């Protein structure tokens, strides 16, 4: 069983899908592990560190030759996989709803694409879930970047020269990233409030010591929502939410938006008029900027100033903490493959619940239910 890892080719992608730690664990299962030269450099992993972990390090064509499994953060172009075994598995993120052509190309090339974003949200798959591991770090980073952009302090400070007021932070969307954003802003000493469409998040917000701000007159999504995911909201809800946000946002110094809907563009949560109501010097971090943005006018990797408010957001937030993000991503992949490792045949054998959920292509065809129609 040969497991190969290429250097990520996407611009700004500093992460890597394998660390020396997970390489040793794969070797302990009996696999041969090979990594392209320089693959870990963006995440502070040297070729030497891989070699010390028993990994073969070399040029891309050599690494990929005869691979049974290729691991990636972002799925490589199938042309980079020439020489891998027919039907080889590629476990990576594919962004399948937006990358239809890539998925088709994988089918055509005869590889089995395993999309880590499609990992079901079930207890046993939690340790395999790259969306969670990466969102958690992204939520943390968003607050740090916002704090760094903000021209004032986060905590209240009583000094001989007078009192510095605590910053007011509002987190919109309380999934994995939002919860970490709340916790991080609290640790920095801010006054934190938060909102979501799923009612189950209300208690989670309170348990972190933040104030829930919820639409009360129109029903949101009961409990966790389907599989923990939100859906698009009704016109009536959106109107009520916009009114609520308008009255709250003008009093905030920092807003962190994290709202996503699987398979749909990110919902628009903040309009230009609402930005104009905020105090000059306020900062908005739009974590959904790469999925279309929660904030009107936000641009990936640019600081946009509108009405004196700075709007920031990264196309790849987790890539800004590449070392930790890679360590967690690599463990997610190891946890996934090792859970299914069949010692007798010396390779992983997926079950239906998880295998069918993540598998996009097989036998030359697109086979995933979520991509049908
Ligand atoms: P996500 O990234 O899909 O969305 C972020 C948040 O935005 C969600 O809380 C969502 O409800 C919210 N949102 C969507 N539209 C909104 C709108 N119009 N206004 C305000 N908020 C809006 O979500 P996520 O971070 O991936 O996780 C969501 C849930 O799934 C969490 O409760 C998490 O605990 C759960 N989860 C479970 C597992 C597991 O059991 N294996 C794994 C991951 C996540």
Distance 315 CA to ligand 1 centre (A): 19
User: What pLDDT sits at residue 373?
Assistant: 66
C-alpha–C-alpha distance, residues 84 and 64, integer Å: 6
Over the stretch 168-226, which tens digit does the pLDDT of each residue have? 999 999 999 999 999 999 999 999 999 999 989 999 999 999 999 999 888 888 877 77
What's CA 109's distance to the chain center, in Å?
27
> Alpha helix locations (H) across the chain?
20-28, 47-52, 60-64, 100-109, 130-149, 176-187, 201-207, 235-249, 272-276, 322-339, 352-358
Identify whether 150 is a catalytic site residue: no
CA-nearest residue for atom 25, ligand 1, is 175
Q: Is 132 a catalytic residue?
A: yes
Closest CA to 3 of 113, 76, 93, 89: 89
Question: Which DSSP state fits 291?
Answer: G
In this structure, what token pair is assigned to residue 290?
């790469």
pLDDT tens digit sequence for 37-77: 999 999 999 999 999 999 999 999 999 999 999 999 999 99
Token pair belonging to 202: 């209300």
How many degrees, rounded to 5, is the angle at CA 63 between CA 59 and CA 68? 165
pLDDT at 372: 83
Ligand 1 binding residues, C-beta < 6 A:
121-123, 125-126, 129, 131-132, 135, 172-178, 195-198, 201, 224, 228-230, 233, 258-261, 267, 269
Name residue, tokens 């069949």: 342
Annotated catalytic residue, options 66, 77, 124, 126 = 126
Active site residue 106: no
- pLDDT digit of tens for each residue in the chain (373 aa)? 999 999 999 999 999 999 999 999 999 999 999 999 999 999 999 999 999 999 999 999 999 999 999 999 999 999 999 999 999 999 999 999 999 999 999 999 999 999 999 999 999 999 999 999 999 999 999 999 999 999 999 999 999 999 999 999 999 999 999 999 999 999 999 999 999 999 899 999 999 999 999 998 888 888 777 777 888 888 999 999 999 999 999 999 999 999 998 888 999 999 999 999 999 999 999 999 999 999 999 999 999 999 999 999 999 999 999 999 999 999 999 999 999 999 999 999 999 999 999 999 999 999 999 998 6
Spatial CA neighbour of 354 closest among 53, 84, 124, 15: 124
Q: Residue 175 gets which letter from DSSP?
A: S
- pLDDT of res. 328: 98
């Amino acid at each position: 069983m040969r497991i190969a890892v290429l250097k990520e080719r996407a611009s700004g992608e500093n992460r890597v899908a394998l660390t020396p730690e997970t390489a040793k664990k794969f070797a302990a299962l009996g696999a041969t592990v090979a990594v392209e030269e320089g693959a870990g450099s963006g995440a502070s992993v040297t070729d030497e560190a891989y070699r010390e972990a028993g990994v073969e390090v070399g040029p891309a064509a050599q690494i990929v030759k005869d691979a049974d499994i290729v691991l990636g953060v972002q799925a490589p172009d199938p042309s980079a996989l020439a020489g891998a075994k027919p039907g080889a598995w590629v476990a990576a993120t594919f962004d399948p709803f937006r990358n239809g052509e890539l998925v088709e190309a994988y089918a055509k090339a005869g590889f089995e694409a395993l999309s880590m974003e499609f990992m079901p949200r079930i207890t046993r798959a939690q340790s395999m879930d790259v969306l969670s591991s990466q969102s958690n770090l992204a939520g943390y980073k968003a607050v740090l970047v916002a704090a760094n952009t903000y021209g004032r302090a986060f905590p209240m400070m009583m000094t001989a020269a007078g009192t510095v007021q605590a910053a007011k932070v509002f987190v919109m969307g309380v999934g994995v990233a939002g919860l970490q954003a709340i916790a991080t802003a609290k640790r920095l000493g801010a006054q934190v409030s938060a909102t979501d469409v799923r009612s189950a998040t209300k208690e989670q917000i309170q348990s972190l010591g933040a104030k829930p701000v919820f639409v009360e007159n129109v029903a949101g999504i009961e409990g966790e929502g389907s599989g923990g995911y939100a859906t698009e909201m009704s016109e009536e809800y959106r109107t009520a939410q916009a009114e609520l946000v308008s009255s709250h946002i003008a009093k905030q110094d920092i807003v962190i938006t994290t709202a996503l809907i699987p398979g749909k563009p990110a919902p628009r949560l903040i309009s230009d008029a609402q930005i104009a109501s905020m105090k000059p010097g306020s900062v908005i971090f739009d974590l959904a900027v790469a999925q279309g943005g929660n904030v009107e006018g936000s641009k990936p990797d640019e600081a946009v100033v509108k009405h004196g408010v700075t709007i920031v957001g990264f196309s790849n937030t987790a890539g800004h903490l590449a070392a930790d993000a890679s360590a967690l991503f690599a463990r997610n992949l190891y946890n996934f493959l090792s859970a299914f490792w069949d010692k007798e045949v010396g390779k992983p054998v997926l079950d239906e619940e998880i295998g069918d959920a993540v598998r996009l292509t097989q036998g030359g065809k697109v086979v995933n239910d979520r991509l049908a129609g």
